[in-house]
Chain A
Amino acid sequence: MEQTALWFLMAWLDPGLLLMVAAGTFAGIYIGAIPGLSVTMAVSILISFTFKWPVDDALALIAGIFVGGVYGGARSAILLNIPGAPSAVATAFDGYPLAQRGEAGRAIGVATVMSVVGGLMGVLALALAAPVIARFALLVAPRDYLLLAMIGILLVGSLAGKSLARGIFAGALGVTIGMVGLDPMTAEGRFTFGSLSLMGGIPYVAAMIGFFGVAEALYQLRHLDLEPVKQRVGSLLPDWRVVKKLLPLSLRTGAIGVVIGALPGTGGDIAALMAYDHAKRTVKEPTSPFGEGAYEGLVAPESANNAAVGGAYIPMLTLGIPGDAVTAVIIGALYIHGLKPGPLLMVETPHLFWFTVGSLTLANLCLLVFGLTGIRIFTKLVECPKGILIPLILVLSAVGTYAIQNNPVDIYWMLGFGILGYFMKVYDYPVAPVILGVILGPLMDVSYRRAMISARDDPLTFASEFVTAPISLGLTLFLLAIILGQTPLWSKLRGR
């Protein structure tokens, strides 16, 4: 017990490690805020830098960057409507309307506090229930991923705005973009026209930056003469009453984040979307309608994506299985440092588990400090004249897109999507379902086919598995309940 406490406090008591965590969190916030610069990228670059460091220093720095980076995406989402990372896409839905109302400072404050709440929930789950959750994550079958993706794709209905048909069109466009490239099952080219650049697929971050960042920048050119919204920066610390009201939602969506983060096939991006969906379904009286600046719509994805960090560490530390892209890179780093990630990691290097829990906790506390300071300067960004802000956004978008895989072709894609997104906005087509389709489409594709192949292409076996396996049955019932809950029949029954 004493030993455990010492391991937990390692990063707190050693000034060097403390500095690593703090510096990592601080850097992470800014890396995360720039679209295209991702945590995965930062961590893989760091591996070369930290090669000769002690492994603890490297892990402390990575933990900080991970926590800070996942949060950082929210800032640009709220202020500029450009999610800094895919996990912040849902944050933009309500965060940006809040900034337009002049409440950017408060929105960032609430997002910070609730990110930390979610983050600490993730750490708590890691500390207390890691083996159980990891076992559960293994049992999730391909068909369950299909069900999860289907539940997620229903969000198109919520994001569609005025016309469902237009929402579905946008979602389908996203799915199509996600399909481009080599078929993940058979390596057959899809929509590649024999071009090598297309065989690698279209990175979904390029689509995200195009449809959100560039499209938004172009759209704002229409109102160049419009005075920027004056931001109220009076009280940045969120009101305790607001926090108390939002806390239950934050805890619920944090739980979603932990589980989705721990599943090896899904990460923070899907966790945040599902959390937003959950908030929209369960909160009957939001502070404003969803999509127009509801604090609930901001809190749900932010709690979930930070909770997913702790979740992603769960299968990594207990079984050596990455919970998401970042932990996959961390596993590679552990190998390079001479460790052997796997079920025996906790036996061979017993301090690693509690040390990680400790540094993640510390990183979340650092996040609270760094997240609540500097908001004033950040919100000034929105008050910046459009003539300065818009070119800046465009340059950042291009740099960020190029950084994904150093491929200039991605910049062309991003610009093309930006122009398309602009016209979609002009003609009142929602762009958010496109990103939903790009993220969830490929997951549905491979999960469905994997499940079907596992059932030996027998539709009857395939269908029966949805009710015979307990996890699948639960998810199927949940999916049906969501769909039935929206039908006129149900409202009639309730009305009676």
Chain B
Amino acid sequence: MIRNLLGAAAALSLVAGVATAQDFPEREMLGVIMWGAGGATDVVARGVTPAVEEALGKPIVMLNKAGAAGAISVAYVNAAPADGYTLLYGAENPQLHGVMGLSELDYGSFYPVNILGRGVAVVVVQADAPWQSFKELVEDAQARPGEIKMASTGPGGLPYVVAALLNSVAPHEVTAVPFDGEGPGLTALQGGHVDFMPAGISAAAELIKGGQLRALTVVNAESVDTFPDVPPITDEFPEMAKYLPWGPFYGVWVRDETPDDVKAKLVEAFRAGAESEAFQTLMANRGNVMMNISGDEADAFLDNWQSVTTWVLHDGGATKRSPEEFGIPRP
């Protein structure tokens, strides 16, 4: 029944779509955020939207639809009409849904309106931890396999992937304790319940500045503006360079079948939104790297990210299905 209704709605909008494309947008739009309120994706989405609304001249109603690591939002937007009125505000997760056995849908079915920016991972320990460099920590983990505890956010999460990437260049063994997200993981680290955590700079920055935590390395090919003194991971593990840049990313998508002129209007509006001063400040405060790319450039980035990450996870035995089944090439 619902499917029929949706189908009817889609058919109607196709008919209407031809006539209205030039005047897009005629009414308010719906922005579906794939993570909960207050999370990293939510903050980026709500940060960029006011400037985009100004550029488009119509409001965007924001809706958090968390669940199943974003798969529910992806399916929801995919079922909505491809008329550009339903936007998907998402993070990197759908690129892993296939191999994790969650859903067949990934960003391949969507058009990247704008990949706004990416986060950089940083490895943090308690301020008074014994390790002075990341190499010391890894060597300690090699000497005492399994005894050092890492806060993780579950399979496919940032700490998990960073550990898997590192493991492929420097085999070591730590005990990964999963938490509900980066925030709770960092909280546990401050309480001394775990020993270290690879986390997004956005989540850890203020704790590092406040002296609660100490950064050992940034998972990037060069040091970052937020912490110019923290060495990049390639200083100690040059082989990591082949995986970089790697990190979570945030962006806006619409269904691939959306009319081209509607796509173009959205791309223009979101580019303006991403360039707005308020959003630039927000991203800098959160230690994110601005990307502001769309179309083919964004697709290339997405494909590369997916290929690197899924194969590393697969080789580490963390996937349910092989990337090969989805035609994802080895990097």
In the complex, 28 of the A-B residue pairs with CB atoms within 8 angstroms, ordered by the A residue number, are: A44-B37, A47-B46, A51-B50, A52-B50, A139-B192, A142-B177, A142-B188, A142-B193, A184-B180, A185-B154, A185-B178, A186-B178, A187-B102, A199-B67, A199-B68, A199-B102, A200-B67, A264-B187, A315-B187, A322-B183, A331-B38, A332-B38, A332-B46, A343-B211, A343-B212, A344-B210, A406-B63, A453-B176
In the assembled complex, the CB of A165 is this many whole angstroms from the nearest CB of chain B, namely 33
In the assembled complex, the CB of A350 is this many whole angstroms from the nearest CB of chain B, namely 14
Q: Mark B80-121, 1 if CB is under 8 A from A, else 0.
A: 000000000000000000001011000000000000000000
Whether the pair A187, B155 counts as a contact (CB closer than 8 A) is yes
Residues of B within 8 A of A264 (CB): 183-184, 187
Whether the pair A196, B65 counts as a contact (CB closer than 8 A) is no
Instruction: Tell which of B46, B66, B177, B206 touches A453, judged by Cβ atoms closer than 8 Å.
Output: B177
- Identify the closest chain A residue to B61 (Cβ): A48
In the assembled complex, the CB of A367 is this many whole angstroms from the nearest CB of chain B, namely 24
Instruction: Tell which of A184, A321, A407, A456 touches B187, judged by Cβ atoms closer than 8 Å.
Output: A321
Given contacts A199-B71, A320-B206, A453-B177, contact A340 B191 (CB under 8 A): no
Given contacts A328-B37, A343-B211, contact A446 B180 (CB under 8 A): yes
Query: Top 8 closest A-B pairs, CB basis?
Result: A342-B206, A200-B67, A343-B210, A44-B37, A199-B68, A332-B38, A138-B191, A328-B38
A276 to B285, CA, bound (A): 43
A198 to B65, CA, bound (A): 14
Q: Mark A32-53, 1 if CB is under 8 A from B, else 0.
A: 0000000011011001100110
By the criterion of a CB under 8 Å from any partner CB, how many residues of chain A are at the interface?
Answer: 55
Whether the pair B154, A187 counts as a contact (CB closer than 8 A) is yes
In the assembled complex, the CB of B110 is this many whole angstroms from the nearest CB of chain A, namely 17
- Identify the closest chain A residue to B39 (Cβ): A332
Whether the pair B175, A454 counts as a contact (CB closer than 8 A) is yes
Whether the pair A343, B155 counts as a contact (CB closer than 8 A) is no
Residues of A within 8 A of B183 (CB): 264, 321-322, 328
Whether the pair B187, A138 counts as a contact (CB closer than 8 A) is yes
In the assembled complex, the CB of B3 is this many whole angstroms from the nearest CB of chain A, namely 12
Residues of B within 8 A of A342 (CB): 205-207, 209-210
Residues of A within 8 A of B175 (CB): 453-454, 456
Whether the pair B190, A44 counts as a contact (CB closer than 8 A) is no
Whether the pair B206, A338 counts as a contact (CB closer than 8 A) is no
Residues of A within 8 A of B71 (CB): 196, 199
Residues of A within 8 A of B155 (CB): 186-187
Tell me whether B169 is interfacial, beta carbon within 8 Å: no
In the assembled complex, the CB of B314 is this many whole angstroms from the nearest CB of chain A, namely 15
Residues of B within 8 A of A44 (CB): 37-38, 42, 64
In the assembled complex, the CB of B239 is this many whole angstroms from the nearest CB of chain A, namely 29
A contacts, CB < 8 Å to B: 40-41, 43-44, 47-48, 51-52, 138-142, 181-182, 184-187, 196-197, 199-201, 264-265, 315, 319-322, 325, 328-332, 335-336, 338, 340-345, 405-408, 446, 450, 453-454, 456
Which chain B residues numbered 18 to 53 have a C-beta less than 8 Å away from chain A?
37-39, 42-43, 46-47, 49-50
Residues of A within 8 A of B207 (CB): 319-320, 342-343
In the complex, number of A-B residue pairs with CB atoms less than 8 Å apart:
152
Whether the pair B193, A141 counts as a contact (CB closer than 8 A) is yes
A264 to B176, CA, bound (A): 20
Whether the pair B103, A196 counts as a contact (CB closer than 8 A) is yes
A185 to B37, CA, bound (A): 21
Whether the pair A335, B187 counts as a contact (CB closer than 8 A) is no
In the assembled complex, the CB of A397 is this many whole angstroms from the nearest CB of chain B, namely 21
Whether the pair B43, A335 counts as a contact (CB closer than 8 A) is yes
Whether the pair B43, A332 counts as a contact (CB closer than 8 A) is yes
Whether the pair B146, A456 counts as a contact (CB closer than 8 A) is yes
Q: Mark B183-199, 1 if CB is under 8 A from A, else 0.
A: 11011101111100000
Whether the pair B102, A406 counts as a contact (CB closer than 8 A) is no
Whether the pair B37, A48 counts as a contact (CB closer than 8 A) is no
Tell me whether B156 is interfacial, beta carbon within 8 Å: yes
Residues of A within 8 A of B67 (CB): 181, 199-201, 405
Residues of A within 8 A of B194 (CB): 454
Residues of A within 8 A of B212 (CB): 319, 343
Whether the pair B42, A332 counts as a contact (CB closer than 8 A) is yes
Whether the pair B103, A340 counts as a contact (CB closer than 8 A) is no
Given contacts A196-B71, A338-B282, contact A48 B49 (CB under 8 A): yes
Whether the pair B43, A336 counts as a contact (CB closer than 8 A) is yes
- Identify the closest chain A residue to B60 (Cβ): A48
Whether the pair A338, B285 counts as a contact (CB closer than 8 A) is yes
Whether the pair B178, A341 counts as a contact (CB closer than 8 A) is no
Residues of B within 8 A of A265 (CB): 184
Whether the pair A319, B37 counts as a contact (CB closer than 8 A) is no
Residues of A within 8 A of B328 (CB): none
Instruction: Tell which of A184, A187, A196 touches B75, judged by Cβ atoms closer than 8 Å.
Output: A196
Q: Mark B256-284, 1 if CB is under 8 A from A, else 0.
A: 00000000000000000000001001100
Tell me whether B15 is interfacial, beta carbon within 8 Å: no
Residues of B within 8 A of A456 (CB): 146-147, 175
Which chain B residues numbered 154 to 185 have a C-beta less than 8 Å away from chain A?
154-156, 175-180, 183-184
A197 to B39, CA, bound (A): 22
In the assembled complex, the CB of A135 is this many whole angstroms from the nearest CB of chain B, namely 9
- Identify the closest chain A residue to B184 (Cβ): A264
Whether the pair B64, A335 counts as a contact (CB closer than 8 A) is no
